[in-house]
Structure 1
Amino acid sequence: MMSEEDSDQNNGMMCCAACGIAEVDDIKLITCDGCDIVKYCSNTCQQEHRPQHDATCKERAAKLRDEILFQQPESSHLGDCPICFLPLSIDPKKSTFMGCCSKIICQGCAYANTLHQNEENLEPACAFCRHPLPKTQKESEMNKMKRVEVNDPFALLHVGVKHKVEGDHEKAFKYWAKAAELGDVDAHYLISDLYREGKGVEKDEKKELY
């Protein structure tokens, strides 16, 4: 029976880790389900090699699980956090929209900013542009409207959401349509909902899809 070291070397040559037979036309190797590396020519060879391979297999399988569990997505339609440059999660609970500059900040950076301000006894300010945070809802809405005036798609999206919550679907459509023209993916999705439900616009199955 081959050693684990020999089997690793033969693995690069597509050989059975147990008996060393190479993969040819009439012999197809099967890959170990645990480590996804070592190969065998038969179930018999795999069973015979199990005692020798078991510890290494479990270690490799654990690494694979960790890679899947903790890997960061390459990107999302929201892009990266402008502070740490990690991809933003599509889960809205894991990010914060800053109305002053229309930046979406990951919760990690938002928390770090709040922690720093508390430790230094600083006035609350935006983690990105450092603009003082609004103290009232009215001030917050004024900041958003300033961003709307310069055709900021995120601001247009959020103002549209506000109108939808208030029941004014026509105004919501107006802001979302502008945001969609500027390339906002979420606005396209929300407009599709309006066409599907016939709220604020005439119900249209074709426009719902496209």
Structure 2
Amino acid sequence: MMSTEEEVAEMMGCASCGITEGDNIKLKKCNACYLVRYCGVKCQKEHRPEHKKACKKRAAELRDEIILFKQPEGTDLGDCPICCLPLPVDSAYTIMSCCSKNICKGCTLANTMREYQESLEYKCPFCRKPAPTSEAASRANVMKRIEANDPAAMSQMGICCQRKGDYAGAHKYWAKAAELGHAEAHYNLSVMYSEGYGVGVGRGKKKEWYHLEQAAIGGNLKARYTLGIREGWCSNHNSERANKHLIIAANQGHDDSMKKLKEIYASGMVGKDDLAAALRAHQAAVDATKSPQREVAAEARSKLGGNYGFL
């Protein structure tokens, strides 16, 4: 459905020379804002200085409406490829170095118990490759996936580099993964530009904000929550935009965003109906990640204090 501005553009002639559309003349809309039409490239270039400000403003509005504040169907974590349930947002999953798949703890535990009972060698629950026996073997697996242009593996390697203090290496792998659309890599780059650490990586608010938004658009809830906090309390003091970010994240099961919405409801910054809708959506998203196998794994992990590898 066209907006009022687009309907007006349909009736208008070329924004530069005024010629109207006819049998031999086809006008094309500005592909950034859709507010005006042109008969050709020459007229578009001539009109650009006059149109630039309105074009940028409308293009930003369209990006917000259609892309940034659109409620995603899921998070960047996706579903466990074995049980096909959404992965929880609390890191209760294992990243396999052999195939770069995120396997939920329930499926990892079920596979490990089966192999133990049948005296089988431990293998990846998804691709069935033998488990690496050393850090070097695990790294070699990741490098194979990187050679296959797997952005998840690149993101993994970036994390490995960061843990070793190799920030230049981390930036290299995350930048490449981000180019391929990996949301977590975008988020990690935003943190880099926020903190300004690493060889050749200085602070940069524009780059930080760009990567935060790209990560949020890709379904990364840490990025979405961070944008909500920055918009409302740190940078722009825009409660409307902050609420939109927090509601989107809460709807996907993000606990910190839900807690923040409850806090600001008490101060009157979010409406009762919006909070109630977010509470329902949040609970539904959390419930969708639950399974008996995952609950057993969580209980075992709790009893063992998180010290058992596959839990």
TM above 0.5 = yes
- RMSD of equivalent CA atoms: 1.0
SS at match of 1:105: strand
Alpha-carbon offset, residue 122 of structure 1: 0.2
SS at match of 2:95: strand
Alignment partners' CA distance in 2, 1:171 and 1:100:
21
Q: Aligned partner of 1:79: which letter?
A: G
Name the structure 2 match of 1:51. Answer: none
Alignment partners' CA distance in 2, 1:77 and 1:205:
24
Name the structure 1 match of 2:158. Answer: 160
Deviations 1:50-101 (A, max 9, x none): xxxxxxxxxxxxxxxxxxxxxxxx7321111100100011222x10001001
Name the structure 1 match of 2:204. Answer: 204
Alignment partners' CA distance in 1, 2:166 and 2:100:
23
1:83-102 aligned at under 5 Å gives the runs: 83-92=82-91, 94-102=92-100
Using structure 2 for the length normalisation, give the TM-score: 0.43
Alpha-carbon offset, residue 189 of structure 1: 0.7
Unaligned stretches of 5+ residues in structure 2: 1-72, 211-311
Alpha-carbon offset, residue 160 of structure 1: 0.3
Alignment partners' CA distance in 2, 1:194 and 1:98:
25
Alignment partners' CA distance in 2, 1:121 and 1:80:
29
Name the structure 2 match of 1:172. Answer: 170
Alignment partners' CA distance in 2, 1:149 and 1:177:
15
Name the structure 1 match of 2:218. Answer: none
SS at match of 1:161: helix
Alpha-carbon offset, residue 108 of structure 1: 0.5
1:7-156 aligned at under 5 Å gives the runs: 75-92=74-91, 94-156=92-154
Alignment partners' CA distance in 2, 1:153 and 1:90:
20
Alpha-carbon offset, residue 202 of structure 1: 2.1
Deviations 1:169-202 (A, max 9, x none): 1110000011111111111111011111112312
Alpha-carbon offset, residue 152 of structure 1: 0.8
Name the structure 2 match of 1:9. Answer: none
Unaligned stretches of 5+ residues in structure 1: 1-73
Deviations 1:104-159 (A, max 9, x none): 10110000000000000000000000000011111111101101111111110111
SS at match of 1:146: helix
Q: After alignment, is 124-133 or 150-159 more displaced?
A: 150-159
Structure having the higher helix fraction is 2
Alignment partners' CA distance in 1, 2:208 and 2:163:
20
Q: Aligned partner of 2:184: which letter?
A: D
Select the structure of larger CA radius of gyration.
1
SS at match of 1:111: helix
Q: Which runs of 4+ in 1 moved over 6 A?
A: none
Using structure 1 for the length normalisation, give the TM-score: 0.63
Q: Aligned partner of 1:97: which letter?
A: I
1:170 and 1:199 in contact (8 A); partners too: no
1:98 and 1:105 in contact (8 A); partners too: yes
Q: How many residues align?
A: 136
Quick one: higher RCO (CA 8 Å, sep 6+), 1 or 2? 2
